[in-house]
């Protein structure tokens, strides 16, 4: 197991076929089924900022619980390379977000884990030309916190999950209050594969609520720009 907080918090991949049970001195928990990434192609993570926030709240509660004050907390995952990487990011993110450690300090306990962690790739269907590491993720998270783009204490999880869902517009703030990324609208409420999608008119009330007055199209033309 990888020790993250001395005598208190650990991360551990579990070999196939092996099981663990909590005891009076050790509490085991797993998030493989609780937090799941939805891939576009061959991508497998990392998990969303909302899931990261929820994970930090979960661990924070467990570590501060009077019932677990004298126990060790062990986050275990499957041996699947995707689960190993995604849960390691979560555990290391807790060190950055809640404990205020630097990306370097949070990555250090994982640096020599074997086998090495599978790097992340982009969500396109083609050849990936850049591999993103867990350390890259932690650096980005730490820098976002430094700039005030992610505020753990005041993070609006309800708004994040509402607008981040396909049903809510599939939109996320890149720079809070300044730059919002969203799924490209379609001329009708069904795409070519008959999946439900948003039209420009569907986005208008959302943009008004969020104070957005300018739309820049970066993808292929799918709709009449004048409908905005």
In which residue are the tokens 């999950």 written? Answer: 161
Q: What is the pTM of this model?
A: 0.92
Confidence of residue 191 (pLDDT cuts 50, 70, 90): confident
User: How many whole angstroms separate alpha carbon 184 and alpha carbon 181?
Assistant: 9
Strand order, beta sheet including 9-14: 2-5, 9-14, 72-78, 26-29
What pLDDT is recorded for position 160? 96
DSSP state of 41: S
Q: Quick: pLDDT tens for 40-84.
A: 899 999 999 999 999 999 999 999 987 777 899 999 999 999 999
Confidence of residue 223 (pLDDT cuts 50, 70, 90): confident
What pLDDT is recorded for position 192? 83
């Amino acid at each position: 197991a990888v020790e993250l907080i001395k005598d208190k918090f650990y991360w551990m991949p579990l070999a196939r076929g092996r099981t663990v049970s909590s005891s009076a001195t050790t509490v085991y928990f797993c998030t493989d089924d609780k937090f799941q990434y939805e891939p576009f192609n061959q991508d497998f993570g990392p998990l969303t900022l909302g899931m990261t926030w929820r994970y930090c709240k979960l661990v924070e509660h467990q570590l501060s619980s009077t019932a677990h004050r004298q126990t060790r907390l062990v986050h275990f995952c499957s041996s699947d390379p995707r689960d190993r990487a995604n849960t390691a990011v979560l555990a290391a993110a807790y060190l950055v977000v809640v404990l205020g450690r630097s990306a370097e300090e949070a990555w250090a306990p994982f640096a020599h884990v074997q086998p090495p962690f599978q790097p992340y790739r982009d969500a396109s269907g083609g050849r990936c030309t850049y591999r993103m590491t867990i350390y890259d993720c932690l650096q980005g998270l730490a820098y976002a916190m430094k700039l005030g783009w992610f505020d753990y204490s005041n993070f609006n999880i309800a708004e994040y999950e509402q607008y981040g869902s396909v049903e809510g517009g599939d939109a996320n703030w890149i720079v809070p209050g300044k730059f919002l990324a969203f799924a490209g609208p379609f001329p009708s409420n069904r795409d070519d594969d008959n999946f439900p999608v948003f039209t420009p008119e569907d986005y208008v009330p959302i943009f008004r609520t969020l104070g957005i007055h300018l739309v820049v199209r970066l993808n292929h033309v799918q709709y009449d720009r004048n409908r905005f």
